[in-house]
Amino acid sequence: MTPNQALEERVLTDDRPSSEDPVASAAALGAISRPPALDTVDRLANMVVMVLPLTLVGLAAWLSWGGVLHWSDLVALAITYALTGLGITVGFHRLLTHRSFKTSPALRGLFAALGSAAVEGPVIEWVANHRKHHQFSDEPGDPHSPHVDRGSGWRGAVGGLFHAHVGWILGGDALADEQHYAKDLLADPVVRFVDRAFVLWVILGLVFPFGLGVALTGTVVGGLTAMLWGGAVRMFLLHHATFSINSLCHFFGRRTFATGDQSRNLLWLALPTLGEAWHNNHHAFPTSARHGLRWWQLDPSAWLIAVLEHGGLVWDVVHISPERQLAKIAAQR
DSSP conformation letters of 277-294: TBHHHHHHSTT-S-S--S
Considering the entire predicted model, what is its pTM? Answer: 0.88
19 vs 270 pLDDT, higher one: 270
Which residues are CB-contacts of 173 (< 8 A; sequence separation ≥ 6)? Answer: 39
- Between CA 285 and CA 144 the distance in angstroms is 20
* Amino acid in the structure at residue 67: G
Residue 79's nearest CA partner among 114, 111, 105 is 114
Tens digit of each residue's pLDDT (9 = 90 or more) over 49-90: 777 777 788 888 877 777 778 999 999 999 999 999 999 999
Tens digit of each residue's pLDDT (9 = 90 or more) over 123-173: 999 999 999 999 999 999 999 999 988 777 888 999 999 999 998 988 765
Per-residue model confidence (pLDDT) at position 25: 38
* Amino acid in the structure at residue 160: G
Per-residue model confidence (pLDDT) at position 62: 78
pLDDT value at 40 more than 60: no
